[in-house]
C-alpha cells in the first residue's frame, strides 16, 4: 500500500468511527422511527427500475431498516438475493425466505436459505447495498472490509447500485481510493438521490 493509500485508509477509519458513534448515540429507536419512510422509498426505486430480481441485505438495528421493504418485495414476487460472507472475503448469496441467522457474521445478519455462488448476481436488475456514508460524487464509505467493493469490481456487467443511508450520511465528499467502487445513487428516508458515478 502506498503512502497516499495509507493516508486515505486512515481518513476513512476516522470518518467511519465518527459516523458509527453518531449512529450509536441516536440508537435503534431513531432508525426504527424512519423504517416506514425507508421502505416506501425503496419500493419507489424498485418500481421505477422495473426490477424483478434484486440484491439487498439484512440491516443492523442502527442502519436504515430494510426488513419492511424485504417483506413487501417478497409479497410482490420479487426475487431477493441476500449476501453470505465467505472466508475469502467475497460474498455468496441466498434467496430471502423471511428467516435469518440468530447471530450476525462480522456484524452482518445473514439469511438461512441455500447458498448460491457469486454468479447468482448476474441475474440481478438492481443492487441495494449498505454504506456508512456516501459522497455527492458517488463515492462510498463502506464498513471497512471491502465485501461489496470486491463483488462489484468482479462483475462483468454491473446493474445500477444504490446505497441505503440515513439522510445525515450523504456528505459533500468521503475519502476514497481507486479500488473503492462508486454508487449510482442513494436511498434515504427522504427520497432517492441519483449521483454521478465518479
pTM: 0.92
Q: Residue range 59-87: average pLDDT?
A: 91
Query: Cα–Cα distances in Å, from 89 out to 49, 70, 83, 116, 195?
Result: 30, 25, 12, 15, 27
Is the CB of residue 188 less than 8 Å from the CB of residue 163?
no
The CATH architecture of the domain made up of 3-194 is: 3-Layer(aba) Sandwich (3.40)
65 pLDDT more than 80: yes
DSSP 3-state of 192: strand
pLDDT at residue 33, rounded to an integer = 92
Question: Residue ranges per domain, the chain?
Answer: 3-194
182 pLDDT more than 80: yes
Share of the chain above pLDDT 70, in %: 93
Give the lowest-confidence range in 28-32, 64-68, 171-175: 28-32
pLDDT at residue 177, rounded to an integer = 85
pLDDT at residue 85, rounded to an integer = 84
Band (pLDDT 50/70/90 cuts) for residue 106 is low
Band (pLDDT 50/70/90 cuts) for residue 38 is very high
pLDDT at residue 191, rounded to an integer = 96
pLDDT at residue 167, rounded to an integer = 95
Is the CB of residue 106 less than 8 Å from the CB of residue 83?
no
141 pLDDT more than 80: yes
pLDDT at residue 103, rounded to an integer = 56
Amino acid at each position: 500500500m502506498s503512502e497516499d493509500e495509507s493516508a486515505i485508509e486512515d481518513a476513512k477509519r476516522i470518518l467511519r468511527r465518527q459516523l458509527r458513534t453518531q449512529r450509536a448515540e441516536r440508537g435503534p429507536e431513531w432508525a426504527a422511527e424512519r423504517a416506514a419512510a425507508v421502505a416506501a422509498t425503496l419500493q419507489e426505486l424498485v418500481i421505477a427500475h422495473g426490477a424483478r430480481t434484486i440484491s439487498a441485505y439484512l440491516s443492523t438495528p442502527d442502519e436504515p431498516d430494510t426488513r419492511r421493504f424485504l417483506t413487501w418485495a417478497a409479497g410482490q414476487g420479487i426475487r431477493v438475493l441476500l449476501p453470505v460472507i465467505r472466508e475469502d472475503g467475497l460474498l455468496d448469496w441466498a434467496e430471502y425466505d423471511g428467516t435469518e441467522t440468530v447471530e450476525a457474521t462480522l456484524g452482518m445478519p445473514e439469511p438461512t436459505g441455500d447458498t448460491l455462488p457469486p454468479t447468482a448476481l448476474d441475474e440481478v436488475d438492481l443492487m441495494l447495498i449498505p454504506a456508512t456514508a456516501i459522497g455527492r460524487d458517488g463515492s462510498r464509505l463502506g464498513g471497512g472490509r471491502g465485501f461489496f467493493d470486491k463483488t462489484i469490481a468482479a462483475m462483468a456487467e454491473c446493474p445500477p447500485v444504490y446505497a441505503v443511508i440515513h439522510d445525515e450520511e450523504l456528505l459533500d465528499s468521503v475519502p476514497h481510493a481507486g479500488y473503492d467502487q462508486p454508487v449510482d445513487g442513494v436511498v434515504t428516508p427522504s427520497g432517492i438521490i441519483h449521483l454521478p458515478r465518479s
